[in-house]
Amino acid sequence: MKRVRIGVVGRMIGVLIVLGIAVFPIYWMFTTALTSDADLFAPEPRWFPDFGQFYVFVDALAEGPTLTWLANSTIVAIGTTVFSIGLGIPLAYALSRFSFKGKVAVGLLLLMTQMLPEALMVVPLFSLYRRFELLDSLAGLILANTAFVLPIVALVLKGAIDGIPKELEEAGRVDGARPLAVLLRINVPIILPSIAAAAVIAFFHAWNEYVFAVTFIFNKSLQPASVGLAGFIGEQGTAIQTIMAVAFMFTLPAVAFYLFAQKYVVSGMTAGAVKG
The answer to whether residues 1 and 38 belong to one domain is yes
Position 276 scores a pLDDT of 42
The answer to whether residues 201 and 103 belong to one domain is yes
pTM for the full predicted model: 0.81
The answer to whether residues 4 and 69 belong to one domain is no
Pairwise CA distance, residues 170 & 93, whole Å: 15
The answer to whether residues 38 and 74 belong to one domain is no
The answer to whether residues 36 and 107 belong to one domain is no
The answer to whether residues 146 and 246 belong to one domain is yes
Q: With CA atoms as reference, report the closest residue to 159 among 113, 182, 190, 116.
A: 190
- Residue 233's DSSP bridge partners are 238
What's the half-sphere exposure (Cβ side, CA atoms, 13 Å) at 158?
20
271 phi and psi angles, rounded to 5 deg = -65, -40
Domain extent at residue 15: 1-48
The answer to whether residues 9 and 120 belong to one domain is no
Contact in structure between 89 and 153 (CB atoms under 8 Å): no
Distances (CA, A) of 57 to 135, 239, 255: 32, 12, 19
Q: Which residues contact 158 (CB under 8 A, 6 or more apart)?
A: 92, 95, 96, 272
Pairwise CA distance, residues 209 & 77, whole Å: 9
- Give the CATH number, domain containing residue 174: 1.10.3720.10
The answer to whether residues 87 and 147 belong to one domain is yes
Q: Per-block average pLDDT, block size 10, for the chain (276 residues)?
A: 68 83 84 79 79 79 80 93 93 84 79 78 88 90 92 89 84 80 84 87 90 89 85 66 83 81 63 45
Position 273 scores a pLDDT of 45
Rg (CA), the chain: 23
